Amino acid sequence: MGSSHVDLSKRHTEKPSFSPEKLAEVQALMNSYPEGKHKSALIRILHIAEEEFGGWLSIETMDYVAELMNIQPIEVYEVATFYTMFNLDPVGKYVFEVCRTGPCMLVGSDQIIDYIGEKLNIKVGETSSDGMFTLKTAECLGACGYAPMLQCGKKFHEHLTKERVDEVIASYREGKVPN
């Protein structure tokens, strides 16, 4: 599960505001639910907010979403802190989520996590000093037959070895999504 609290020290410097296109998308999402049930759109709206505001959800961003949806901020915090898919801290340009469940562990995911950490000089939950990479662990990414693996955005990188991790990191450093 996600963090158990909201850290009030994590702030954006400006009050968030969706672009007109994103605001229209948010309104359409809320209107797609029956009257009084628009809160059902919250998870998708939080994803939109992450995309729009730097890849993470600050207190100001969550408060803004609550205001737009006419719900209490605590209702947004409860969802954002429960689901590990939301980032409550600033993250790097590329977020490496390495699966750490049993099947992946059996074929070396722990060693891959350690290797990525050494290579980028970070621990799980941290971002590299250049701001490029954040390392996270994940519970089952649904690729047990291709373990060990990591997800970066919508891309899965499977059958990882140290050499393959080196290739993946190098490709992302060059701004290319590796195969």
Write out pLDDT tens, residues 33-90.
Answer: 998 899 999 999 999 999 999 899 999 999 999 999 999 999 999 999 998 889 999 9
Q: Which residues of 142-171 are buried (b: 16+ CB within 10 A; e: fewer)?
A: ebeebbbbbbbeeeebeebeeebbeebbee
Q: For residue 8, is it within any domain?
A: no
The verdict on 159 and 117 lying in the same domain is yes
Beta strands in the chain, from DSSP E residues, in sequence order:
94-99, 133-138, 150-152, 155-157
Task: Give residue 141's domain range.
Answer: 94-173
The verdict on 71 and 122 lying in the same domain is no
The verdict on 40 and 107 lying in the same domain is no
CATH of the domain at 29: 1.10.10
pLDDT band at residue 153 under the 50/70/90 scheme: confident
Q: For residue 123, is it within any domain?
A: yes
